[in-house]
Amino acid sequence: MPRFDAPVQELAFVLDEIAGLAEIAGLPGGEEATPDLVAAVLEEAARFGGEILAPLNPVGDRQGCRLSNGMVTTPAGFPAAYARFVDGGWNGIAFAPDFGGQGLPWAVGTAVQEIWHAANMAFALVPMLTQGAVEALSHHGTAEQKRLYLPKLIRGEWTGTMNLTEPQAGSDVGALRTKAVPVGDGSWRISGQKIFITGGDHDLAENIVHLVLARTPGAPAGVRGISLFLVPKFLVGPDGALGPRNEVACIKLEHKLGINGSPTCTMAFGDGDGALGWMIGAENQGLALMFTMMNNARLAVGLEGIAQAERAYQKARAYARERVQGHDPLTRQPVTILHHPDVRRMLLDAKARTEAARALALYVAGQIDRARTCPDAHRRVELLTPVVKAYGTETGVAVADTAIQVFGGMGYIDETGVAQHLRDARIAPIYEGTNGIQALDLVGRKLLKDGGAAFSALVAEMRALDAPLAAAGAEVAGLRRRLAEAVNAADAAGRHILGGAGADPRLAAAVAWPFLLLVATATCGWLMAKAALAARRRLAAGDQAVPFLEGKIVTARAYAELHLVQAESYLAQVESGSTSVMALSDDQF
């Protein structure tokens, strides 16, 4: 099995040219991100991911997690690797220094996180959820909550979870029933059951900080009556020392299609008086607060898809270079399958799609850094967060599937390890809000809510690339034409939904998915075109990375030929509206 080599050159290029690292480093708080430091961080992360985390990926898949006497044991090697992860300071690289973070830009943290997800997605879920808990507490916690919990969470000595889902409350979070009753001293007693909780229990850290959505007495029904609570596994004294065990426990572990190294737990809160918890933020504001965590996690889940795509692509590429099958049609000599145009098509598609989705994710991560000083950047992040989540995760599944096809029969056999990437990647379009829910978010809360303002600003910016592309000449002429067509299609689709939503209440929901794919494809095409122009500029300036940079230009053209061309069909689906979707009666299905 080939080792995992993190795409350091590509990550550095996208950070520089798409996320805009130089500009971010010039913003207040960005000073740490010198080019040398970022290069060193990427190299070191690649080493840790390749040497420590990646070899544990098949181990985690085979062994899974075990529940015994109420304690979850992770696969062999995971606790030691996690200890090294914490000791290496990896958990806190993108958090503010106030509570022990290293203060590197979010974009750099995102690039590093892709490496963890590619090396070992099941392992990387624990730091990912801890990151969400840090974000939620940093924004909404009291001074005391921050003092007690943030340093340990940022360091990774304690880990975080996100407890939303209940058997009757999945996509419809408002249906949750977990209860919180005030004790009278500022604490609350939490009782109820949550299902599918990632990292709900494990042996990686000494404490687990559960963020739990629950209802207070008399709370309004639905999402307006949900509050957010912090419920530690072990109670924490005022001096930060660990006290007795709280009434929270994993009572069941799920057997799953993939990410077997990640414990997916049924959590019982309160088998007696109730687990002790403390409210975060204001009563009944829980869902809005949890969105701080969910938005963060949605970007990270999109990244999981991109990471699985990268890993599966690397395996398929290595196999295609070795596997001899068939002959060259001209010389009649035996050839590796990499010589066959159809295999090259699959690999090129996988490469183009992975690079495009990565460009999108790192672009949005760069906007998160800019959003600290720029409201427009914040609006761009909000608009594109569901797009990164959905397109990144669809990319993970599509590319892992293509990679198996490149392997032929061996792709279906466990020992090559490529099938694990498809099994692992398959959860990502489902959790953190299914991709269908992401599409509804894009149309309902982003497009329609502001009358298309944030979307129009994106369309205008994408159109502005036309002049530089025209100036770049014949090499990118096809890319330029396809991009203009795709941006026009996205614009037309947005207008169609904005114009028709009033008359047909089903329209927006019925066409949300092709609209999301259209926005994703056009935006990715735009970013790939930017990458092509940057590569051209670097080549003209005498940059020595010639094969890499020439490859970027070809890959951008390939994205246009394979994906931007689909924009017209997405537009046609949007224009078809809801009629057929709603035409069959329930029993005709």
Ligand X SMILES: Cc1cc2nc3c(=O)[nH]c(=O)nc-3n(C[C@H](O)[C@H](O)[C@H](O)COP(=O)(O)OP(=O)(O)OC[C@H]3O[C@@H](n4cnc5c(N)ncnc54)[C@H](O)[C@@H]3O)c2cc1C
Sequence-distant contacts of 479-484: CB under 8 A, at least 24 apart: 479/525, 479/528, 479/529, 479/532, 479/556, 479/557, 479/560, 479/564, 480/529, 482/525, 482/560, 482/561, 482/564, 482/565, 482/567, 483/522, 483/525, 483/526, 483/529, 483/560, 483/564
| Torsional class of 474: left (φ above 0), alpha (ψ -120 to 50), beta (otherwise) | alpha
Closest to ligand X by CB, 171 vs 373, is 171
**Range in contact with ligand X (rule: CB under 6 A) among 65-73, 108-116, 277-285, 424-432:** 424-432
163, 260, 296, 354: which one binds ligand X (CB under 6 A): 163
| Residue 144 a catalytic site member | no
The nearest distance, CB 163 to ligand X, in angstroms, is 6
52, 136, 164, 560: which one binds ligand X (CB under 6 A): 164
Instruction: Please give the Cα distance from 332 to 323 (Å, whole number).
Output: 16
The secondary structure element, H or E, covering residue 286 is helix 286-322
168 binds ligand X (CB under 6 A): no
**Range in contact with ligand X (rule: CB under 6 A) among 82-90, 191-199, 496-504, 524-532:** 191-199
555 binds ligand X (CB under 6 A): no
The nearest distance, CB 164 to ligand X, in angstroms, is 3
The nearest distance, CB 437 to ligand X, in angstroms, is 5
Closest to ligand X by CB, 163 vs 385, is 163
**Range in contact with ligand X (rule: CB under 6 A) among 29-37, 193-201, 236-244, 374-382:** 193-201
Instruction: Please give the Cα distance from 187 to 180 (Å, whole number).
Output: 10
The nearest distance, CB 348 to ligand X, in angstroms, is 31
170 binds ligand X (CB under 6 A): yes
Instruction: Please give the Cα distance from 210 to 215 (Å, whole number).
Output: 16
State the number of binding residues for ligand X (CB under 6 A).
20
**Token pair belonging to 431:** 């959790």
The nearest distance, CB 64 to ligand X, in angstroms, is 12
**Range in contact with ligand X (rule: CB under 6 A) among 24-32, 225-233, 304-312, 429-437:** 429-437
264 binds ligand X (CB under 6 A): yes
**Range in contact with ligand X (rule: CB under 6 A) among 108-116, 235-243, 425-433, 534-542:** 425-433
Closest to ligand X by CB, 113 vs 402, is 113
- Phi first, then psi: what are they for 210, rounded to 5°? -90, 130
Closest to ligand X by CB, 20 vs 261, is 261
Closest to ligand X by CB, 34 vs 171, is 171
Closest to ligand X by CB, 110 vs 264, is 264
Instruction: Please give the Cα distance from 82 to 90 (Å, whole number).
Output: 10
User: What b-and-e string marks burial along 443-462, b requiring 16 or more CB atoms within 10 Å of the CB?
Assistant: beebbbeeebebbbebbeeb
Closest to ligand X by CB, 353 vs 426, is 426
Minimal CB distance residue for ligand X: 170
Give CA 79 to chain center in angstroms.
Answer: 24
The nearest distance, CB 176 to ligand X, in angstroms, is 9
Rg, C-alpha atoms of the chain: 24
Give bridge partners of residue 250 from the DSSP assignment.
Answer: 267
Residue with tokens 């009649």: 332
3-state secondary structure of 402: helix
Sign of the torsion angle spanned by Cα atoms 73, 79, 82, 83: positive
**Range in contact with ligand X (rule: CB under 6 A) among 27-35, 194-202, 282-290, 573-581:** 194-202
Closest to ligand X by CB, 264 vs 296, is 264
The nearest distance, CB 287 to ligand X, in angstroms, is 12
Site for ligand X in 434-473 (CB under 6 A): 434, 436-437, 440
The nearest distance, CB 188 to ligand X, in angstroms, is 19
Closest to ligand X by CB, 174 vs 408, is 174
The nearest distance, CB 69 to ligand X, in angstroms, is 23
Q: Out of 114, 310, 432, 485, which one is annotated catalytic?
A: 432
579 binds ligand X (CB under 6 A): no
The strand pair at 324-327 and 66-68 is best described as unpaired
Closest to ligand X by CB, 125 vs 404, is 125
The nearest distance, CB 338 to ligand X, in angstroms, is 35
214, 381, 427, 560: which one binds ligand X (CB under 6 A): 427
Site for ligand X in 374-403 (CB under 6 A): none
Instruction: Please give the Cα distance from 180 to 193 (Å, whole number).
Output: 12
Closest to ligand X by CB, 138 vs 159, is 159
Alpha helices in 408-506 (DSSP H): 418-425, 435-440, 453-463, 466-472, 477-500
57, 165, 295, 573: which one binds ligand X (CB under 6 A): 165
**Range in contact with ligand X (rule: CB under 6 A) among 110-118, 156-164, 369-377, 418-426:** 156-164
Instruction: Please give the Cα distance from 113 to 128 (Å, whole number).
Output: 8
198 binds ligand X (CB under 6 A): yes
**Range in contact with ligand X (rule: CB under 6 A) among 5-13, 164-172, 478-486, 527-535:** 164-172
45, 153, 162, 428: which one binds ligand X (CB under 6 A): 162
The closest of 30, 23, 83, 89 to 53, measured between CA atoms, is 83
The nearest distance, CB 258 to ligand X, in angstroms, is 8
**Token pair belonging to 311:** 């890993």
3-state secondary structure of 66: strand
Sign of the torsion angle spanned by Cα atoms 86, 87, 91, 96: positive
Q: What is the DSSP string of 329-352?
A: TTT--EEEGGGSHHHHHHHHHHHH
Site for ligand X in 75-94 (CB under 6 A): none
Q: What is the DSSP string of 310-321?
A: HHHHHHHHHHHH
The secondary structure element, H or E, covering residue 356 is helix 341-370
Beta-carbon neighbour count of residue 477 at 10 Å? 13
Residue 548 CA: distances (Å) to CA of 297, 406, 415, 536: 31, 23, 31, 11
Q: Determine the length of the chain.
A: 589
229 binds ligand X (CB under 6 A): no
Residues near ligand X (CB under 6 A): 162-165, 170-171, 196-198, 256, 264, 427, 430-434, 436-437, 440
Q: Which residues are catalytic?
A: 432
